[in-house]
């Protein structure tokens, strides 16, 4: 059964579009745009989305509200990373919990927003922004960033879209059946830029330094501190930074 694809040349935010049109949309429907005037990241941060330089999409999805949600952004990251790898891009890594990196610089972001809960059904929107070529943005992003044209200058954006959506539907279905299963955990360890490296975990109250030991079956990050303690953190609450 076909999914609806809404294409908006200009919009405030494709995530906001889905949130505003839930009643007309079905699970798996997509909203695409060329340019967002108020693209957003986590915690009210801004996602810069100039004209035609990105793949910007949001997907309406539903999940069982009784199951843990924490691993979702990781599964989406793995789907996008594998989609790009399937098009020939090898140097893609993930940064827990929601970033895609190219040679250590931010290539894409994922923003999951919960719309509402109807009994056991959680309605949510999955937003993805992937940089393809951003010649005019050079100085405006306040952290190291990357564009896919660095490694795949010939890649067609429609082809990337198809690969990303195919991988997403497959990986989301597996996540719904099995959560963060052993295959996902292994894939994560292979793709995580900071796996087995020292990282800082920034919480509201403090910064914790330790070695990143990968993720558990809920998608929590496992950090081994200097005194040998193994701590777990949830991606909704903390940020990871290199020390």
Q: What is the set of active-site residues?
A: 42, 106, 241
Collapsed DSSP state (helix, strand, coil) of residue 157: helix
Q: Which is nearer to ligand BTN, 57 or 223 (CB)?
A: 57
Interacting span for ligand BTN (CB under 6 A) from 13-21, 84-92, 149-157, 199-207:
13-21
Binding residues for ligand BTN restricted to 70-99, rule: CB under 6 A? 98-99
Q: Which residues bind ligand ATP (CB under 6 A)?
A: 41-43, 45-48, 98-99, 106, 109, 131, 141-143, 145, 239-240
Distance separating alpha carbons of residues 110 and 235, to the nearest angstrom: 12
Collapsed DSSP state (helix, strand, coil) of residue 35: strand
Q: What are 124's two structure tokens? A: 């949510």
Q: What are 65's two structure tokens? A: 């509200």
- Please state the φ and ψ torsions of residue 125, each to the nearest 5 degrees: -120, 135
Cis ω before 97 (30° cut-off from 0): yes
Q: Which is nearer to ligand ATP, 59 or 112 (CB)?
A: 112
- Please state the φ and ψ torsions of residue 90, each to the nearest 5 degrees: -90, -30
Closest C-alpha to 60, from 9, 14, 7, 129: 14
Distance separating alpha carbons of residues 6 and 63, to the nearest angstrom: 22
Among ligand BTN, ligand ATP, none, the one that 145 touches (CB under a kind-dependent 5 to 8 A) is: ligand ATP
Binding residues for ligand BTN restricted to 114-133, rule: CB under 6 A? 127-129
CB of 183 to ligand BTN, least distance (A): 25
Q: Whose CB is nearest to ligand BTN?
A: 109
Q: Which is nearer to ligand ATP, 42 or 163 (CB)?
A: 42
Residues near ligand BTN, by CB under 6 A: 13-15, 36, 39-42, 45, 47, 56, 58, 98-99, 109-111, 127-129
């Amino acid at each position: 059964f076909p999914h609806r694809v809404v294409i908006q040349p200009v919009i405030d935010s494709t995530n906001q579009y889905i949130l505003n049109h839930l009643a007309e949309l079905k699970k798996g429907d997509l909203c695409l745009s060329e340019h967002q005037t108020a693209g957003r990241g986590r915690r009210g941060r801004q996602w810069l989305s100039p004209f035609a330089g990105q793949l910007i999409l949001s997907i309406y999805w539903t999940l069982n509200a009784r199951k843990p949600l924490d691993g979702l952004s990781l599964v989406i990251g793995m789907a996008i990373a594998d989609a790009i790898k399937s098009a020939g891009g090898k140097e893609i890594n993930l940064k827990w919990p929601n970033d895609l990196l190219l040679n250590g610089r931010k290539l894409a972001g994922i923003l999951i927003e919960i719309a509402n809960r109807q009994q056991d059904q959680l309605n949510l929107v999955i937003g993805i922004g992937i940089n393809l070529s951003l010649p005019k943005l050079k100085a405006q992003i306040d952290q190291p960033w990357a564009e896919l044209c660095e490694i795949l200058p010939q890649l067609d954006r429609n082809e990337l879209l198809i690969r990303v959506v195919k991988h997403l539907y497959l990986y989301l279905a597996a996540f719904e059946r099995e959560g963060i299963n052993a295959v996902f955990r292994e894939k994560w360890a292979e793709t995580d830029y900071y796996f087995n490296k020292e990282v800082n975990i920034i919480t509201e109250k403090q910064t914790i330094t330790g070695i990143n030991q990968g993720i558990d079956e809920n998608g929590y990050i496992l950090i081994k501190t200097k005194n040998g303690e193994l701590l777990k953190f949830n991606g909704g609450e903390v940020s990871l930074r290199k020390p």
